[in-house]
Amino acid sequence: MKRIHLGNALPAMLIIAAFMGCDPAVAEEATEGVQIINQLVTIDPYEVIQPATVNSKPGTTVVWINASQFPVEILFLDKKVALACGSPANFSLGKGGAYESAQLPRGGTASLCFTRTGKYEYVVRSSRTLLLQYGGTKERKETRGKIVIQ
């Protein structure tokens, strides 16, 4: 069985890459300026948003996870959210033009990408319809959160 020495293979790979139009220096430059930022927001079992305020930079994707006992919806309070770095997951434009999530079951997720600086306030609404089965009330709990992109 022949052994390939990396010392001999590396120059050959660089020559092949150059002929294919792939310059390693250009590839490094292209990835240097791109910063992918993901921020996780959890709706905990007591329906508290953790963290209540997310501070980040343009290009940030915020992912919400519903860890509460009840389905929840995430509703933005105005139309300021602009998307450009991917498709929203479990979000759509509501009647007023602001983003709102689908109803997220326990363990469900939703995400949005924020490309512009600004403050984006939202409400997490809990659906307590499950309580009706056990004689509870159909109240909806609301918790507020904020995304700050600087």
pLDDT at residue 57 greater than cutoff 80: yes
Verify that 117 and 78 share a domain, yes or no: yes
Verify that 25 and 86 share a domain, yes or no: no
Verify that 76 and 51 share a domain, yes or no: yes
Judge contact between 26 and 33, C-beta under 8 A.
Answer: no
How many of the other CB atoms lie within 10 Å of CB of 54? 18
Verify that 76 and 126 share a domain, yes or no: yes
pLDDT at residue 91 greater than cutoff 60: yes
Contacts of 56 (CB under 8 A, 6+ apart): 37, 39, 62, 114, 147, 148, 149, 150
* pLDDT > 70: percent of the chain: 67
How many of the other CB atoms lie within 10 Å of CB of 99? 21
List the single range of 2-6, 53-57, 132-136 with lowest mean pLDDT.
Answer: 2-6
CATH number of the domain bearing residue 143: 2.60.40.420
Verify that 1 and 65 share a domain, yes or no: no
d(CA 115, CA 96): 21
Verify that 22 and 93 share a domain, yes or no: no
pLDDT in tens, 38-47: 999 999 998 8
Beta-carbon-side half-sphere exposure of residue 136 (alpha carbons within 13 Å): 11
Structural domain for 42, as ranges: 37-149
Verify that 56 and 124 share a domain, yes or no: yes
Judge contact between 138 and 126, C-beta under 8 A.
Answer: no
How many of the other CB atoms lie within 10 Å of CB of 43? 24
pLDDT at residue 79 greater than cutoff 70: yes
29-33, 90-94, 133-137, range with greatest mean pLDDT: 90-94
84-98, 101-115, 118-132, range with greatest mean pLDDT: 101-115
pLDDT tier at 83, thresholds 50, 70, 90 = low
Verify that 30 and 41 share a domain, yes or no: no
d(CA 122, CA 144): 6
Task: Please state the domain count of the chain.
Answer: 2
Mean pLDDT over each residue of the chain, to the nearest integer: 76
Verify that 66 and 26 share a domain, yes or no: no
Judge contact between 128 and 77, C-beta under 8 A.
Answer: no
What single string gives the DSSP state of each residue in 62-111?
A: EEEEE-SSS-EEEEESSS-----SS--BSEEE-TTSSEEEPPBPTT-EEE
